[in-house]
Structures are given as C-alpha cells and as structure tokens.
Amino acid sequence: MVLVVVRTVTAVNRLVDALCLLENDRRVQVVFTYDDERPAIFAAGVHEFLQRLRAPVIPWRQALATSFDLVLAASENDDLHRLRGPVLLIAHGIGYQKYYPGRAVIAGLDPARLDPATVLALSHVDQRELVRAACPEAAERAVVIGDPCHDRMLASRHRAAEYRAALGAVDKTLVVVASTWGPDSVFGRDPGLVERLVGELPVDEFAVCAILHPGVVSAHSAWQVRAWLANATDAGLHVLPPEAGWQAAILSASCVVSDRGSLALYAAAMDLPLLMAGGRSATTVPGSPMAALAAQTARLDDRDLAVQIRLAIRRHTTGAHELAVKQAVGDPGRSAELLRPVLYRMMALPEPPAPAEFPPVDPAAPRVTEAAAFVVGVRGGALQRFPSTRHPHELDHRHLVAHATMATLRQVTNAAILYRRLDGHEQWRFTAWAAETLRQWPNAHLVAATVGDRTCLIRARAGGTYRMTVERTEVDALVFASLAYIRLQDGELSTMEHVRVGDRSVSATVQAL
C-alpha cells in the first residue's frame, strides 16, 4: 500500500504527476492523508481537492498507526519520520530555488526537518551538494529522477492546439500570467496587471489567462480572490482553478508573464517567450537557476503592454533560456524511466514490463466569462475591440457595443450598438427582439444578433435590416455590426464589405432584408 502525504494543494499537484507511473498496476493501492493536527499555512483547499479527485483519504492518526510499502511526500515539514514505511520526498517546485521567508534556509531542505532515512528525489545531480550542506546523510541516499512535472509537459506538447482551444485562444495571441504567492509575486506586487492586460489588449487578437499559486487562494479564500478579480473576469480574463490546468495553460501560451516562481522556469523549459513581473524577491537563492533566468529576462513595465508582448514574441529565439533550464532540470525526457524503478524498488515489487511514460495532461478548465461590453473603433486602418474597462482608448469612430441583457445598466444605456447571441434555430426571434430593443433603449443606433459563427443580423434605427455572412469563422461575426455602424453613419452598406482585424482581412456578403 502506498501513502501519499498531502500538505498543500501544490503538493498534491506535484505528487499526482509521479502517481501516474503507478496507474494500471492492480498490485498497488494508493491512499492519501494530511496532518489536520498540524496543518500547513496554505492547507486550505486540500480536503476539497482530494474530494474532487475522489481519492481515498485516511485520518492522520490512522496513517501513523499503519505500515506502508511506500510513502510519497512533497514537503519535509510534515512529520514524515513518524510514518511506518520508506519515504520518498519529491521537491514541490522545480528544484530548490527559494529560501523560506525570513530565513536563510532553502525551502525543501530544512536541516531541522529532514530525516536522514528519507530518500530525496532530485531533479538535477548538482542539487546533491545543496542536500549535503543541509543533511549529509540524506545526500548519500538521494536519487536523481529529473522532473516529473517538466517531463509530463514534454509528453503533452503535441496537444497544445487542443489546450489553446479550451482557453478560447484559437488564432489569438495567448498571454498567460503566472503568479506565485507573497508580496513580491505578480499578484502581490501588481494585482491590477491582469485587469490592465484585458483592458489594453484587443479582444480579437489576444486572450489572457491567469494562473494563481494555490497559496493565494488558501491565504485569502476563493471568494475574496474572485471578488478582487471581478472587473478582469467580467472583461474576459480566464482564471484557472488553483488545483489543475496550469501545465496545459503554459503549453498553450504565446507569451508568459511571470515572477520568480517555478512557473517561470517551466515556461522557459518549454522554450516560450517570457517577461518578468513582480518584485525582485529576497527569497530567491543567489546563483540558482531562477536567479539566472530572472537576470537574463526582460521585465514588463508600464509602457504599452501590447507592444511589449509582441516584441517579446518577435525577439524570442529557440534555446534562449537553455542555460538556466539545464541547471534546473537534469535528464530531460527521462524522468519516467528514472523515477519508476525507484518507486518499485522502494515497494519491493518488480516493475511492470511496459515502458515507463507520463500521460498528457488534461486541458485547462478555466472560469470564463465573455466580456459583455466593448469599446470599438478604428486605429491604423484596422477595427479594434477592447473590453469596456476603465482604460481609455483613442480610436476613430469610437463607440460602445453592449450585450442587451448581460451588460450593466450604464453600458446598455450608453451603447451605440446592442447585441445578443442566437443559435441557428432562433433566427426568427430577431425581428421582434430588434424592434423592442430599439424602443426600450433610445440611445442605441443599431441592434445586432450573431447567429452561429458566420452570420450577423443587423437593424438600424434609421431604417434597414441586413444579414451579413462572414467568410471566415475565426473572427467574431459581431465585428460586422460595428463596421455597419460606421458605414451607415456616412452612407450605405455595399453588397460586399471588408474589414481588417489585427493582421487579418475579413469579408462579408451583405443582404438587405
């Protein structure tokens, strides 16, 4: 029987990757436990996460009284020495990059907490010297296994297009903001960054996803974090749940904005464009791979965010982060074949005959809300749409487009265009809805309804009802409502209309109804 000792949600995530190597083996029963008598600071959410996994959980006191063939853990801060069975301790980040706050002790290597009998799983052979400084006896027993999380991401890269689709970022530049916890994190130092990103980046060209360290939610509660991010999520920010999805999100990214947390190194290991944000953390170990990566990576500042992101993507070269990554992860791509023999040797079981490999990660399942109101206009000959936020936009033909029922009263009252979404079988509803909406909201110049991916139905207050059929489905058909608004201010719609959105030119046929 295998016992998995869970201290935080982060620890569960780390250990689940290793547990993949025990799947399909009917000889192995896995149970979970956590110390409810001496919980971690960030223990909130552990019980709920294990429930969602539908994992078997035994009380801590029962775990102390039971013998196990193997104990898996990701924190030395649990009383692992009290458990009956060989213990394998896996780092809960990408190597040993941080000090404990306020202490000159490397996280994961606290000499006062390390048990010499514990087997430490290292991601790089050079980490053995760090272990030796903390606990010489443990250094001799340590094994190099590479990084299971890193290698599971490698095993998932071929599914990047699927992951992007799950985040609503097909044919868009996906910006992933990854924040660790603490005052020097992205969220701690600049909590308004995600709102500025969704407010400043054109919605037809960019999507923004936030990954918050589970410790942020544990410290403040899911309710509070949702409240703090309400404006950003209303504007279209995708927020991942704290327990899953971050690996898929990183693999989906066009550019990652991160602090000095582990996700910056994982993004670098996946060879992605990277920008640093947050503070220059005093907890980063000098000379560590994280310190090296931070020193060589450009920082995001208060200038135009779209310009900085496009520049980071354009300037990125293959292997740009290679030196820092090589210091953090040894034997890339070999973790499964290195780790599984260790697990089975400690359980005193023969390995299964099939090759050891990690399965791909599942797509992310973010909390997604489509922006209900847009500021729309023309800049540089292209139509641009932005979520209606506090960020100002200088645009020609500037106007507000609002969802007729999902937008706020202020937005609906001031909108030049009111819209709704219809399924294909609901087209018949448009005529009556358009008339009633124009009657109810006298400031609206035009009402529109998208039907499926390719059709936009339009009725103007000045007269005229039109069906616009779009040739390309990767652009929201609603953009043609704004084009119609602009055209009808000065004249009429032609039978074929063209609009540039980002770097794409899109056409639509126009039929008067």
pLDDT at 465: 96
Q: For residue range 200-220, list pLDDT tens digits in order.
A: 999 999 999 999 998 899 889
Count the neighbouring beta carbons within 10 Å of the beta carbon of residue 366: 21
Q: Does 288 lie in the same domain as 254?
A: yes
Report whether pLDDT(44) > 90.
no
Per the rule left: phi > 0, alpha: psi between -120 and 50, beta: everything else, 182 is: left
pLDDT at 367: 75
User: What tokens appear for 325 in the block?
Assistant: 């990554």
Report whether pLDDT(368) > 80.
no
Q: Does 8 lie in the same domain as 140?
A: yes
Q: Does 392 lie in the same domain as 290?
A: no
- Distance between alpha carbon 461 and the CA centroid of its chain, in Å? 42
Residue 419's pLDDT band (cuts 50, 70, 90) = very high
Per the rule left: phi > 0, alpha: psi between -120 and 50, beta: everything else, 108 is: left
Q: Does 445 lie in the same domain as 377?
A: yes
pLDDT at 70: 98
The more confident residue out of 113 and 156 is: 156
pLDDT at 46: 87
pLDDT at 283: 84
pLDDT at 27: 97
CATH number (domain holding residue 170):
3.40.50.2000
Q: Does 335 lie in the same domain as 258?
A: no
pLDDT at 411: 97
Q: For residue range 226-237, list pLDDT tens digits in order.
A: 999 999 999 999
Q: Does 94 lie in the same domain as 32?
A: yes
Indicate yes or no: pTM above 0.95. no
Residue 115's pLDDT band (cuts 50, 70, 90) = confident
pLDDT at 194: 97
Q: Where are the alpha helices (DSSP H) in 221-371?
A: 222-228, 230-234, 246-252, 262-269, 289-296, 305-315, 322-328, 335-347
Q: What is the mean pLDDT of residues 190-196?
A: 95
Calculate the average pLDDT of the chain: 93
Q: Does 342 lie in the same domain as 291?
A: no
Amino acid letter, 413: T
Residue 373's pLDDT band (cuts 50, 70, 90) = very high
Give me the domain span that covers residue 313: 152-328
Q: Does 120 lie in the same domain as 179?
A: no
Report whether pLDDT(76) > 90.
no
Residues 6+ away with beta carbon under 8 Å from 336: 21, 148, 151, 356, 357, 358
Question: Are the C-beta atoms of residues 511 and 467 closer than 8 Å to each other?
Answer: yes
Q: CA 454, CA 37: separation in Å to the nearest integer?
A: 58
